[in-house]
Structure 1
Amino acid sequence: MTTHDTAEQLASYRKTIDNLDSALLHILAERFRCTEQVGHLKAEQAMPATDGERERRQMDRLGKIANDVGLSHHFVESLMKLIVGAVVERHKEIAAEK
């Protein structure tokens, strides 16, 4: 493979990665729009910002999916803890505003 071919292949891979990154951000934005609604509902009903049982079930479910698609269970768990942590903080903010 020539240097030119390698550069073209690398550019192609990077374009795909860029497109996937954009898709991930759009999906995350939609997820946060939905969890925003959950936060308002919880605040209106004076429900706690966290639901440990739901979070445990989600981690178990997502761990199985991670295994099925060949992702590290540890990676998926770390990512979801980051996402859920941001959601819980936002739910607390919403509750404080009510």
Structure 2
Amino acid sequence: MPENDEQNDDARALEQLYAIRESIDNIDAALIHLLAERFKFTKQVGYLKAEHGLPAEDPVRERDHIKNLRALAVESHLDPEFAEKWFNFVVAEVIHHHVRAGAAPTAE
């Protein structure tokens, strides 16, 4: 293949790479905005729990929600283990916020 054709192929590949990365960056920005919205609502939950002396954690809800998220992950061709790890990470932060808001410690 002549050198110019290789350079053109490389240039097209780089253009495609930059376009894909721009899409990834846009999705990351959307995820951050969605997480911020999610935390606005979980903050409200934390205040309600604190106001009414409810425990910071809700293991039954978490279990049911994980089951639903795993099913959504499978439907979306995403590793359900990853979806569960992500959710557990978010829930740990939410519980931390609930405890800081004054929700009762976990009822065992």
Choose which of 39, 42, 46 in structure 2 pairs with 1:35.
42
Identity %: 41
Aligned to 1:49: 56
Ranges in structure 1 where 5+ consecutive residues have no aligned partner: none
Choose which of 2, 9, 21 in structure 2 pairs with 1:14.
21
Q: Which portions of structure 1, spanning 4 or more consecutive aligned residues, are displaced by more than 4 angstroms?
A: none
Ranges in structure 2 where 5+ consecutive residues have no aligned partner: 1-7, 104-108
Distance 1:86 1:18 in 2: 24
Q: Aligned pairs, how many?
A: 96
Distance 1:18 1:95 in 2: 36
Letter in structure 2 aligned against 1:55: E
Aligned to 2:33: 26
Which string of whole-angstrom CA distances, capped at 9 and with x for unpartnered residues, describes residues 24-73 of structure 1? 00000000000000000000000000000000000001011011000001
Distance 1:24 1:46 in 2: 32
CA RMSD of aligned residues (A): 1.0
Letter in structure 2 aligned against 1:87: V
Choose which of 49, 63, 84 in structure 2 pairs with 1:77.
84
TM-score by length of 2: 0.87
Point out the structure with the larger helix share: 1
* Alpha-carbon offset, residue 88 of structure 1: 0.3
* Alpha-carbon offset, residue 16 of structure 1: 0.3
Distance 1:77 1:67 in 2: 11
